[in-house]
Amino acid sequence: MKALLLENIHPLAVQILEGRGFEVELRAGSLSEDELVETLPGVDLLGIRSNTHLTERVLDAATDLQAVGCFCIGTNQVDLAAAAARGLAVFNAPFSNTRSVVELVIGEIIALARRLHEKSGKMHAGVWDKSAKGSHEIRGRTLGIVGYGNIGTQLSNLAESMGMRVIFFDTADRLAHGNAQRMKTLDDLLEQADVVTLHVDGRPGNAGFFGPEQFARMKPRSLFINAARGMVVDNESLREHILSGHIAGAALDVFPIEPKAQGDPFESPLRGLDNVILTPHVGGSTQEAQEEIGFFVANKLAGFALEGRTELSVDLPAVMAPQLQSGHRLGYLHVNVPGVLASVNQLIAESGSNVTGQYLATSGEQGYVVTDTSDPVPESAIKALADSEHTLWVRTWSV
């Protein structure tokens, strides 16, 4: 089976996939829709990061594809409904780079409060600007975290340990960590925070949710950070508020339009502004995180392709089948209608195979059942399942 890994995925992923018998092709950049349509036939497993967009058209062309590994946290670059409808498993690494993003944000809070970026730039230009004007400690300052999930909560803990007061706003019910205080509304947070940092997810409803009204609500001379998703912020409006002096500084790691490949030109209304730190979507890009993500997602892809395991799949029913140590396994993804499990078991019983384990899950319109047997299930039974109108796919593995 062939695995294609795009966007500079960590070599550990290659090592793991090759070690499990896959032929691996690596490419540094992402591919456009047309390039994907041309390249994907013949590819069984695809590894991407956030710049490769898998549309319905791409998935239709990917006739051999079984699974997609997003070597990152977000998965909204993939049409998940279309992937599920085609029985493709999609995996991601929901926790592997949380700490890296948090550490970048902590660094940025201090860098912005001390105007480090600006001062360093002047020094490189040969200007000695020794002054305390506009420089502040972060101790005692209020950090407003918007989106209190994996990253937001860990940031909350570290920021408190540095003496900041933490307030947060989340649309879901979230447990407050330490002394952090939940705000009832986003406006309440914006009116109190000295630093506002966004850590919301990439759901479509969040597109453009932070714009002129929200910047205007922020405290005069407050700081703004976005290391979540580029599309959530109106950067033209941020530019205006920085130029007017209302916002004293900002750090942006994500952008509505990001260059596709290393070295491609970067355009943004925020280029060239004082006390604005721009980084090329590197919040989660540390050696530690990349290695952890490479390990995590490569194992998920191999576990699915070689053993039918779907645990932590973001689109298919998640079946926690144990590692297949010996014997035979049949995986059956089907439309979730009554009676399917009974018909699978009847076919296996008729074949005379002894069932040694069975694991199943349903999610939405799909059901997935993994059955381990002592003897291989006969071809005739597999064909009968494959021919059923309810079948998405049926696969077998043997050790």
Task: Just list the catalytic residues.
Answer: 229, 258, 281
Q: Check binding of 229 to ligand NAD (CB under 6 A).
A: yes
**Cβ of 179: how many Cβ atoms within 10 Å?**
9
Would you state the structure tokens that stand for residue 311, as one six-digit string? 């645990």
- As a whole number of angstroms, the distance between CA 212 and CA 183 comes to 21
Q: Check binding of 230 to ligand NAD (CB under 6 A).
A: no
Residue for token pair 């006739």:
63
Q: Which residue from 10, 99, 281, 328 is in contact with ligand NAD, where contact means CB under 6 A?
A: 281
CA dihedral 374, 90, 360, 350 (to 10 degrees): -40
By CB under 6 A, the residues from 153 to 192 that bind ligand NAD are: 169-172, 174
Q: Check binding of 253 to ligand NAD (CB under 6 A).
A: yes
**Residue number, 296 or 332, with CB nearest to ligand NAD:** 296
User: Phi/psi zone of residue 352: left (φ > 0), alpha (ψ -120 to 50 degrees), beta?
Assistant: left
**Residue number, 5 or 101, with CB nearest to ligand NAD:** 101
- Strands, DSSP E only, in the chain? 2-5, 23-26, 45-48, 67-70, 89-91, 142-146, 165-169, 181-182, 195-198, 222-226, 247-252, 276-278, 328-335, 355-363, 366-373, 391-398
Stretch that binds ligand NAD, among 30-38, 57-65, 95-103, 360-368 (CB under 6 A): 95-103
Q: Which residue from 146, 183, 324, 385 is in contact with ligand NAD, where contact means CB under 6 A?
A: 146
Q: Check binding of 73 to ligand NAD (CB under 6 A).
A: yes
- Alpha carbon distances (Å) from 273 to 223, 242, 270: 14, 8, 6
Least Å distance, CB 134 to ligand NAD, is: 26
- Alpha carbon distances (Å) from 33 to 54, 55, 232: 8, 8, 23
Q: Check binding of 149 to ligand NAD (CB under 6 A).
A: yes
Least Å distance, CB 387 to ligand NAD, is: 40
Question: In a 3-state reduction of DSSP, which class is residue 223?
Answer: strand
Least Å distance, CB 82 to ligand NAD, is: 20
Stretch that binds ligand NAD, among 140-148, 256-264, 339-347, 378-386 (CB under 6 A): 140-148
- As a whole number of angstroms, the distance between CA 385 and CA 247 comes to 62
- As a whole number of angstroms, the distance between CA 119 and CA 111 comes to 10
**Residue number, 94 or 376, with CB nearest to ligand NAD:** 94
Least Å distance, CB 233 to ligand NAD, is: 12
What is the contact mask toward ligand NAD in residues 189 to 228, using x (rule: CB under 6 A)?
A: ----------xxxx---x--x-----------------xx
Q: Which residue from 40, 62, 84, 151 is in contact with ligand NAD, where contact means CB under 6 A?
A: 151
Least Å distance, CB 357 to ligand NAD, is: 33
**Residue number, 97 or 310, with CB nearest to ligand NAD:** 97
- As a whole number of angstroms, the distance between CA 337 and CA 111 comes to 57
Q: Check binding of 294 to ligand NAD (CB under 6 A).
A: no
DSSP 8-state symbol, 364: T
Question: In a 3-state reduction of DSSP, which class is residue 299?
Answer: helix
The per-residue DSSP string of 9-47 comes to --HHHHHHHHHTT-EEEE-SS---HHHHHHH-TT-SEEE
Count residues near ligand NAD (CB under 6 A): 31
Q: Check binding of 8 to ligand NAD (CB under 6 A).
A: no
Q: Check binding of 127 to ligand NAD (CB under 6 A).
A: no
185-269-113 Cα angle (round to 5): 60
Q: Check binding of 93 to ligand NAD (CB under 6 A).
A: no
Least Å distance, CB 88 to ligand NAD, is: 21
Stretch that binds ligand NAD, among 97-105, 116-124, 327-335, 373-381 (CB under 6 A): 97-105
- As a whole number of angstroms, the distance between CA 289 and CA 250 comes to 24
Q: Which residues bind ligand NAD (CB under 6 A)?
A: 73-74, 97-98, 101, 146-152, 169-172, 174, 199-202, 206, 209, 227-229, 253-254, 281, 283-284
